[in-house]
């Protein structure tokens, strides 16, 4: 038979074993919970979709508005157009100025025509003949002065006429040399500069004409149609507001104690309250400057705590129209602590 003392001992050891197992389970539970808490970081933020204010670079009258609010547009789509006739006229005038400058430069480069050179050569011969005649008359009058048949005044007049004829011959000789040599290099350089200026004006007129059409810079959705056909618009006056389809960002904030658990490039999972879909993304930027948590952001810490803003880039394959501007989302960061996490990288 079993003694009472032995039974009591067995019961005592059984109770101790149950207590040890319970304590071990509780300890494992708390350790597991702490470990899961360390492995999973939950953040809160809002969808941040880029918007573009589209405007003409040139003033004018709106002739066409091709899309309405809510329409989806593709990159390169023609959104609106101005009355282009004034810009076409300006381009024609600029092209005409280019032709004038080209003609002037070609004339200077070719020099004078052969007929003009022949005229300069014959003018020199004529001037030389006048010099010969004036020299003979001076000699004749000088010879008559000794016999009294001519006066000193007549001799002086003949000498002046001879000198004038000689000067005319030198001028004709220089004109012939200039005609043969052509125009100066400085004149040609000035003509080349005038041609370049005319070509630049024509290029500017071409650009201005192209700017009468407004095209979409990217795929997106029209969220505002500001003008209507017939309206007069100034340059840089908004015509459309376009919400870009991609990229889609999420703006979130992280507290300083958790800053070392993330880094640029860390993979995250994003989920909104309106859908069960989970969007993949990664952290693209962490602000190097601390700031107070905005009132629109929810965190588990007090709102007066300093946090760091970060930007999450949603994978293009996952981004869709369900993510709308300002929508609150929850971000799950499944990552182990990052040693030496760097801030401010993209």
- Name the helix (H) or strand (E) containing 45: strand 40-55
CA dist 346 and 340 (Å) reads 16
* Residue whose entry in the numeric block shows the structure tokens 């209507």: 228
Considering the four listed CATH numbers 2.40.50.140, 2.40.30.170, 3.30.1360.120, 3.40.50.80, the one that applies to the domain covering 42-48+246-295+304-333 is: 2.40.30.170
CA 262 – CA 337 distance, rounded (Å): 7
From the list 325, 266, 261, the residue with the least C-alpha distance to 46 is 325
Residue count of the chain: 346
CA 309 to each of CA 39, 42, 169, 254, 284: distance values in angstroms, whole numbers, following the listed order? 21, 14, 90, 7, 11
DSSP 265: T
Domain extent listing, the chain: 42-48+246-295+304-333, 51-83+211-244, 94-204
pLDDT digits (tens, 9 = 90+) for 182-235: 667 888 889 999 999 999 999 999 999 999 999 999 999 999 999 999 999 999
**In which element (H, E) is residue 49 found?**
strand 40-55
Question: Phi and psi dihedrals of 72, rounded to 5?
Answer: -90, 135
**pLDDT tens sequence across 60-95:** 999 999 999 999 999 999 999 999 999 999 999 999
Which of 2.40.50.100, 1.10.10.10, 2.60.40.10, 2.60.40.1180 would CATH assign to domain 51-83+211-244? Answer: 2.40.50.100
**Is residue 34 pLDDT above 70, yes or no?**
no
Does the model's pTM come out above 0.85? no
């Amino acid at each position: 038979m079993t003694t009472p003392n032995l039974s009591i001992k067995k019961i005592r050891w059984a109770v101790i074993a149950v207590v040890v197992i319970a304590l071990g389970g509780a300890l494992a539970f708390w350790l597991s919970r702490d470990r899961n808490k360390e492995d999973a970081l939950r953040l809160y933020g809002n969808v941040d979709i880029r918007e573009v204010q589209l405007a003409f670079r040139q003033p004018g009258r709106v002739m066409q508005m091709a899309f309405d609010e809510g329409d989806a547009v593709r990159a390169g789509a023609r959104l609106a157009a101005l009355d282009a006739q004034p810009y076409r006229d300006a381009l024609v005038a600029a092209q005409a100025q280019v032709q004038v400058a080209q003609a002037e430069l070609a004339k200077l480069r070719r020099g004078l025509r052969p007929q003009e050179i022949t005229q300069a050569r014959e003018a020199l011969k004529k001037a030389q003949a006048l010099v010969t005649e004036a020299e003979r008359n001076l000699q004749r009058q000088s010879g008559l002065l000794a016999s009294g048949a001519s006066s000193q005044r007549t001799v002086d007049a003949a000498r002046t006429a001879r000198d004038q004829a000689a000067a005319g011959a030198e001028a004709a000789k220089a004109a012939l040399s200039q005609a043969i040599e052509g125009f100066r290099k400085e004149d040609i350089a000035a003509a080349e500069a005038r041609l370049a200026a005319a070509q630049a004006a024509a290029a500017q007129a071409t650009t201005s004409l192209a700017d009468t059409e407004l095209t979409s810079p990217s795929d997106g959705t029209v969220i505002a149609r500001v003008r209507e056909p017939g309206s007069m618009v100034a340059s840089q006056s908004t015509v459309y507001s376009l919400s870009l389809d991609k990229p889609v960002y999420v703006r979130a904030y992280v507290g300083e104690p958790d800053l070392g658990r993330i880094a640029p490039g860390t993979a995250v999972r994003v989920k909104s309250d309106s859908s069960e879909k989970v969007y993949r993304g990664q952290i693209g930027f962490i602000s190097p400057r601390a700031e107070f948590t905005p009132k629109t952001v929810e965190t588990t810490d007090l709102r007066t705590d300093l946090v760091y803003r970060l930007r999450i880039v949603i994978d293009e394959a996952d981004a869709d129209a369900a993510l709308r501007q300002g929508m609150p989302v929850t971000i799950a960061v499944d990552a182990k602590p990052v040693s030496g996490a760097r801030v401010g990288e993209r």
